[in-house]
Amino acid sequence: MSATSTSRVTLEVLYAIAAGALFGVGLVVSGMSQPEKVLGFLDVLGGAWDPSLAFVMVGAIGVAFFGFRAARSRATSASGAPIALPRQTGITPSLVLGAVLFGIGWGLVGLCPGPSFAAIGAGHLDVVFFVVALLGGAGLVDLVRHVASVNASRGEDA
């Protein structure tokens, strides 16, 4: 590994720790790290609706809108890594099916990926069950997609 790429990885790691720490504090301060608060937000029809988490979205988007606007006009980030914004725009069946499955899992317990890591930090060690299953589920999708693409390329060869 060259000296430049070593220092770039070091910078990436330091910036990532800082960004992760900001994210973690934001999750706790906002109430997102408390599953009962998330369930209270999703329970729109229950008569005791807690709309707080809408304010999380407003605060986050209000800031990040300008962050991504600044990012759009740059090709390279401060660490030297290229700025890789998503290019997909299609409304695909897998997007919709994935969002449905995610929403069901989210509504069952009140945990989505960020808050699940925050909950472990806060000492809820049983959430490790959730995170391991989450990683396993994501890995399963990657595996199925990989096998499907290998089979597809074999089909082309034949």
- Interaction residues for other proteins, span 49-68 (CB under 8 A): 49-68
Give dist(CA 49, CA 43) in Å, integer: 6
Taking the complex as a whole, the smallest distance from the CB of residue 149 to other proteins amounts, in Å, to 13
Taking the complex as a whole, the smallest distance from the CB of residue 132 to other proteins amounts, in Å, to 7
Of 3-22, binders to other proteins (CB under 8 A) are 9, 11-22
Q: How many residues does the chain have?
A: 158
Q: Single out the residue of 1, 2, 3, 123 in contact with other proteins (rule: CB under 8 A).
A: 123
108 binds other proteins (CB under 8 A): yes
Burial class (CB in 10 A: 0-12, 13-18, 19+), 27: buried
Q: Single out the residue of 100, 147, 148, 150 in contact with other proteins (rule: CB under 8 A).
A: 100
Determine contact, residues 52/42, Cβ cutoff 8 Å.
no
* Nearer of residues 85 and 152 to other proteins, judged by Cβ: 85
Give dist(CA 17, CA 71) in Å, integer: 20
77: which residues sit within 8 A by CB, 6+ positions away?
71, 83
* Nearer of residues 37 and 157 to other proteins, judged by Cβ: 37
Q: Single out the residue of 1, 3, 104, 152 in contact with other proteins (rule: CB under 8 A).
A: 104
Nearest to 27 by CA among 99, 106, 108, 111: 111
* Nearer of residues 71 and 158 to other proteins, judged by Cβ: 71
Of 33-52, binders to other proteins (CB under 8 A) are 33-37, 39-40, 42-46, 48-52
DSSP states along 90-131? ---HHHHHHHHHHHHHHHHHS--HHHHHHHHHTT-TTHHHHH
Q: Single out the residue of 7, 102, 149, 150 in contact with other proteins (rule: CB under 8 A).
A: 102
